[in-house]
Each structure stands twice: as C-alpha cells, then as structure tokens.
Amino acid sequence: MDYLPVCLRLRGTPVLLVGAGTVATRKARLLLRAGARLTVVAPQASAELQSLLADADGEWRRVVYSNSAQDGQALVVAATPDAETNRAVYRDACERGIPVNVVDSPELCSFIFPAVIDRNPLLIAISSSGRSPVLARLVRRKIETLIPAAYGRLAEFAGHWRDRVRTALPEEGARRLFWEQAVDGAAGELVLAGRETEAATLMERRLADSSALHRGEVYLLGAGPGDPDLLTFKALRLLQSADVVLYDRLVAPAIVDMARRDAERIYVGKSRADHAVPQQDINQKLLELAQAGKRVVRLKGGDPFIFGRGGEEIALLASHGIPFQVVPGITAASGGACYAGIPLTHRDYAQSVRFVAGYLKGDRVEHDWQQFASTTETLVFYMGLMGLPVICRELQAIGRAPDTPVALIERATMEGQRVLVGTLATMEDIVAREKPHAPTLIIVGDVVRLHRDLAWFGERDG
C-alpha cells in the first residue's frame, strides 16, 4: 500500500494554495467545500476563484510565491504551470513538516487527492496512488451508480440515533443486529425515501419492543417488462438483500438470478388457464414469511400497481403491521412501446393514452366501449391476446375505422421481441397466422404508423 487512506478535518484549518488557474480553482472548490480557511498565492486569479474566495472569506495574495507564504499553514497545495515553483513549494513544505500536494506530480506529494464520492457525511475515496487519476475517476463513476444520493441523509439519521441505541442496547451483539436491520432494512429505506418521521417512529417501536428485532419486511418490486437493464437501482438493491424471493412468470429469469445466491426462490406464477398459486395464498405466504423474520421480495412483472394486484398483497401486510415498501417498475406499455418505436403520445397523432385490461371474462372483454371512441387517444390492452377478436370487433362497432393501426408486441423488451402490425380489420388473421404467445401487449391508434421509422429493436411486421 503506497498511501494510507485518511480523512482530514479541515473546517477552520489554514490551507495554502499556490496557483490560481483552472486546475487550482478545482482544488479550491474542493478545499472550501471541506471548510478550509483558504489562502491563495498567485499574481493573477481566475474570476471563478476570486468569487469562491469572496463567498468563503478566503484570502488572495497577489504576489509571487515565497517560502514565507507557508507560515502558519497546516496544509499546502501547489497547482502552477511552473515546474520550478512547484518544486520549491514541495521542498519548503517538507522542511517545515507540512503535508503537501503538487497537482499531477506524484513524486512531489506527501499526500494525494483521491476521487471522491460525496454523500456527506458518508464519503468514499478512490485512489490509483497517483498512477492513473482517469482510472480512479472511472471507478468513481461506476461506484456512484450503486450509492444512492440519499445515503448521506441516512448517515445523518444514524448519527442522530447512535447514543439512544447505545443506551437502550448496551450489549454489543444486540446493538449490531439492531443497526444492521435498521440501516439495511425498513427504517433505512424510509430515510432514503425522505420519510424520516416515519423512520423515527419505527426506530422507537423497535427499541421498545425486542421482538421487533426479529420481525421481517416485505418489498414489492416492479421488475419491468423483461429487459434486466430496465430494473431500477433501488429494486436491485432490495432484491440483493432478500432472504426469500417470490416471483411470477412475467419476471425474466435473468432478473430472478440477480438475487443473492443463498436466497430462497418461490415461483408463484399464474397464467390464464393455470393459477399455480391462488392470489390469496400468495398474500398469506408473504405475511407468514415476514412474521418468521424473513426479508421478503415479491417480484412482479412491469409495475406492481398497474394490473399487478400489488394493492391486494400489501393490504394484508398493513393490517398485520408488517413493514413494506413498493418500488415502481417500468410498465410493459412504456417499455414495449419504446423498444418497438411507437410513441404512446405524439403531437400529430395522440394527446392521451389509456391502459386497459384486455382479458376475457367468459367470452367477453367487459368495458364501456363507447369511452374508447376517440381517435386522438392511444389504447394499450394488457393481457389481450385471447380477447383480441372481441377487442377489434367492439372498437369497430363504436365507430373506430377498420384501417385503424394496431400493433401486437410479443415478449416486449426481451430477446426475441416480435412486433406484428396490422389494422382492426386484419389483426385477427395476422395473429392466427403468426401464432404469437403471451406475454403480449396490444397498441391501438395512429401512433402505430411511426413504428417502421422509429423501431430499433428486433421486430417482424405481419
């Protein structure tokens, strides 16, 4: 290890910055954000740097660097274009025993600036030991995508509760378990969602009730229409924390595989003719697992609250006081339409969009069909493959033109996606010939005309 990672408390600390160009301005911005009392030595300074110093009550000395500039300083940074000046700053600082950094010169540094992920008070630093700052920044960008911006708020919240938890739970093992469940559980998720008051109430309840330490949680996650890349960061984070994962047939196997390797997986899929697990049994299973102290994820295709019966599942949990969260997902209409190059709304074609359940009840698709008469509204039918003949017939019966464009999207956003395009008059014959399989989505409206020009995913027209 070439360097020892440390975090310096600079609030109110005198720091010298030699140089006042673009690079120096970047360093000044970072030092001032850490609360340093900054002095800049340079004959000229950028307008931005002058503004930063004025806002932070810093000092600009319009002189050429000399050894005396380091008097009273606790930290020194050099960022000038003159190599001799930079070497002099380094030499003088070493003689005084002051930590020094010469930008872009690792050999003239007793400390270096890492790439920083700032979720204050949570900080993550990445360093290449001066070998490749660009690589360090690349790694920082990758890590930043995994660390929600609200983690700083979570760290503040934990700090506020630290003494109270230590008093209530003097035994280290119990305290560690409490914090693991709080930070990585329901209370932590509430804070990340900006609901600190509710999180505080939950903390109070769990500190007062030791049995709450062993109470589980449930997360209803929208898995999106199929493509694993459409899963949200939050959904992925919760999925990877689950003890048990319940998933249905609309969830892509690649998404289920993102769960922890040791997580139990339970298939609860339903199709039109085969309800592997009745809905009431799924609701009860979620409750029982949570009551057993498990962290449970319910993965649902698309969005849990759009034809996903998510409301029914959380109602039972709420009535028994089980902590839960619902994480939205990209619904099939949005994902499928985008991948097929079909804008659901468009200035020239449609000013609104309606999501409609298209499944049969007996031999009927039960709707007030007259409300679908507008030609400036896009209709998206979910679960409508079996009911397609009824849908096409009823829409024509209320006055929609037989040549109204229709698209059927099979396996939306997934490998093997197929788009069949026809009209209200021809779509039934196209489906009979092409024999698509569920899951499918049916889009009706003039926006379908844009499909040929805007599609970028694999498709096939009928």
Binding residue positions for S-adenosyl-L-methionine:
225, 301-303, 306, 331-332, 383, 412
- Binding-site residue set for NAD(+): 22-23, 43-44
Q: Give the Cα-Cα-Cα angle 54, 58, 60 (nearest 5 degrees).
A: 90
Task: Show the tokens assigned to 257.
Answer: 């595989």
**What is the distance of C-alpha 224 from the center of its chain?**
13
Which helix H or strand E contains 25, and what residues bound it? helix 22-33
Contacts of 345 (CB under 8 A, 6+ apart): 351, 352, 353, 378, 447
Q: Give the Cα-Cα-Cα angle 451, 453, 455 (nearest 5 degrees).
A: 55
CB 438 within 8 A of CB 454: no
CA distance 108 to 106: 5
Which helix H or strand E contains 379, and what residues bound it? strand 377-382
Burial 74-84 (b: 16+ CB within 10 A, else e): ebbbbbbeeee
Which residue shows structure tokens 């979570």?
154
CA distance 455 to 462: 15
Which helix H or strand E contains 220, and what residues bound it? strand 217-222
Rg, the chain, Cα only = 30
CA distance 256 to 188: 24
Q: Give the Cα-Cα-Cα angle 318, 322, 327 (nearest 5 degrees).
A: 80
Give counts: helices (H), strands (E), the chain.
16, 17
CA distance 17 to 80: 10
Active site residue 403: no
Active site residue 300: no
Helix, strand, coil shares, percent, the chain, to 5: 40, 20, 40
Contacts of 122 (CB under 8 A, 6+ apart): 151, 152, 154, 155
Contacts of 280 (CB under 8 A, 6+ apart): none
| Residues forming a β-bridge with 353 | 378
- CB count within 10 Å of CB 185 equals 20
Q: Give the Cα-Cα-Cα angle 412, 413, 419 (nearest 5 degrees).
A: 50
- Candidates 248, 285, 294, 300; catalytic one: 248
Catalytically active residues are 248, 270
